[in-house]
Structure 1
Amino acid sequence: MRHWLVCLVFILIPPAASAQDAVLERLETTDSGRQWDAVGRLDINGAGFCTGALIAPDLVLTAAHCMFDRPTKTRIDPGSFEFLAGWRNGRASAYRQVRRAVVHPDYVYDQDVTSTRVRNDLALLELQQPIRNTTVVPFDTSDRPRRGDEVGVVSYAKDRANAPSLQEVCKVMARQEGMLIMSCDVDHGSSGAPIFSFSGEAPRIVSVVSAKAEVQGQRVALGTDLTEPLAHLKAQLENGDGFAVPVAPRTSRITVGGARRDTGAKFIRP
């Protein structure tokens, strides 16, 4: 299936689409990372992690495949998740357990990476308690960008798990059936990372990282169009859907590198 996807993308993308893309900037200091504190690492019981972003004081946006256990292909208990807002060098601006999690109703985890899977690869997490920290300001969302537009991504990854990195300039290379193909640099752990538009006064989330692929030897990121899928997720929460955790939040500060479990959250499927 990977070869089919790469060949299809190859037809749509001009070879020099990302020649001017910016390199990754590590956001290791308080000054460099302050405006990105609403991006956080989403830890799964110390066994793996994704990236997520706050879009309301109690709502975190991420990828649907982060919610599934890879070997069993079953949903992970939302009580196993902890959102570490602005996680840098062993500390976070806020720590929150997850109360409820909903995934897009048309998302199928056990499926090859196609445009259908990618465009539905979205999840919304309700936190046990809202984050009211004045330094952690939720991001607004916006309609999907057009081909050729410049975007950026803030993400954690396997080789930068202790601080996020910013790629401020990458491009939308193509749009295909609700899927965005972007020249952003992503890796394992970047699943669910917010893709930003910088066209307004403040960065707005226009997509999240669903998968990575390779085109003509170049790594690309695949993401969903937010508009319709996000509306579905908000409606699900308003209707009371999602597994609710009735107990008080657990106090857990286990970091990646301890006992491991093979979960889908550690991988961005190629």
Structure 2
Amino acid sequence: MALSAPSKCGPWFALGALACLVLPAVPAAAIVGGAPFADRAIARHVVLIVGGHSLCTGVAIAPDLVLTAAHCVLSNGKYRLLAFDGRRTVVKDVASVTPHPQFSLRADAPDLALVKLAPPLAANLAPAAFSDRRAPPSVGDRFIVAGFGVGVQGDGKTAGKLRAVTLVATDRPSSQQLSLIDPRKLGETAGFGVCNGDSGGPVFDERDRALVGIVSWSGRTDGEAVCGFVTGVIPLARYRYWILETAARLGSPLEP
């Protein structure tokens, strides 16, 4: 299944909807297609990123460091991270944002950024373990994708509740790009898939729930920016050295 140039799926610019989202103690829906809520084992790693009139998802890789999509944090606006512990919301300020130096809006560019949190540390945020997988996935491999994005495309009021779903690899996976689809629909009709606000969300190997990638874009096989068809992922193995080096420079060293 050859893919045309996809579009990034992260920030959605609906300030009124975003304002409604940030205020409640319990946020409101995500990943389109009727995906279930994420279980606690996944939720403890995942944060909501707000700022610059946008909403994205991120994953903790250290107590004070979050990995997300670079296109989520491009503006100079003030970003905040929200972590949820049951009905309690922990709001964290951002100390710095470091995008990958080769990031661009090309679909195959390293759409990655590290977000350093300001002290104090969030006690309820658990770092996710990186996968030991080095070779590109095979077609049909299964992955769990999580995000705080909209549950219905175009409806900002359905964003903010963490959902997770299992998708499968398709379309010649590589070290730069991984395309995932709903195994029930095979990309032929809309099903489970990421949408606005899910960018930056974690992608876990279903076998061991280790972190293998970051959500970057969504689209249809013809390249149209439609949710529920193809989920575009940046695999992390190729960029592991940059993540380790940058984390150490930011004062948050990681296990190699």
Output aligned runs, 1:114-153, within 5 Å.
Answer: 114-115=107-108, 117=109, 120-129=110-119, 131-133=121-123, 135-142=124-131, 143=133, 145-153=137-145
Output aligned runs, 1:103-122, within 5 Å.
Answer: 103-108=99-104, 111=105, 113-115=106-108, 117=109, 120-122=110-112
Give the Cα–Cα distance (whole angstroms) in 1 for the partners of residues 80 and 176 of structure 2. 29
Output aligned runs, 1:167-178, within 5 Å.
Answer: 167=165, 169-174=166-171, 175-176=173-174, 178=176
Answer 1 or 2: which has greater helix percent. Answer: 1
Counterpart position of 1:186:
194
Give the Cα–Cα distance (whole angstroms) in 2 for the partners of residues 181 and 240 of structure 1. 31
User: Aligned to 1:233, what secondary structure does the other structure show?
Assistant: helix
**How big is the shift at 1:151?**
0.4
Output aligned runs, 1:39-118, within 5 Å.
Answer: 39-44=46-51, 47-69=53-75, 76-77=76-77, 80-86=78-84, 91-92=88-89, 94-108=90-104, 111=105, 113-115=106-108, 117=109
Give the Cα–Cα distance (whole angstroms) in 2 for the partners of residues 87 and 64 of structure 1. 26
Q: Give the TM-score, by structure 1 length.
A: 0.65
Report the identity percentage: 23
Q: 222, 225, 228: which one pairs with 2:238?
A: 228
**How big is the shift at 1:100?**
1.5
CA contact (8 A) 1:122 1:230 kept: no
User: Aligned to 1:86, what secondary structure does the other structure show?
Assistant: strand
Counterpart position of 1:163:
161
Q: Give the TM-score, by structure 2 length.
A: 0.68
Post-superposition Cα deviations, 1:146-188, rounded to whole Å, max 9, x if no partner, equal: 3321001110113442311111x21011314510011151000
Change (3 A) 1:157 1:33: same
Give the Cα–Cα distance (whole angstroms) in 1 for the partners of residues 143 and 115 of structure 2. 24
In structure 2, stretches of 5+ residues that fail to align are: 7-32, 152-157, 183-192, 252-256
User: Aligned to 1:66, what secondary structure does the other structure show?
Assistant: helix
> Could you say what the CA RMSD is over the residues aligned between the two structures, in angstroms?
2.8
Change (3 A) 1:87 1:62: farther
User: Aligned to 2:220, what secondary structure does the other structure show?
Assistant: strand
Give the letter aligned to residue 5 of structure 2.
Answer: L
In structure 1, stretches of 5+ residues that fail to align are: 7-21, 70-75, 242-270
Give the letter aligned to residue 104 of structure 1.
Answer: H
Largest Rg, 1 or 2: 1
Give the Cα–Cα distance (whole angstroms) in 1 for the partners of residues 144 and 48 of structure 2. 17
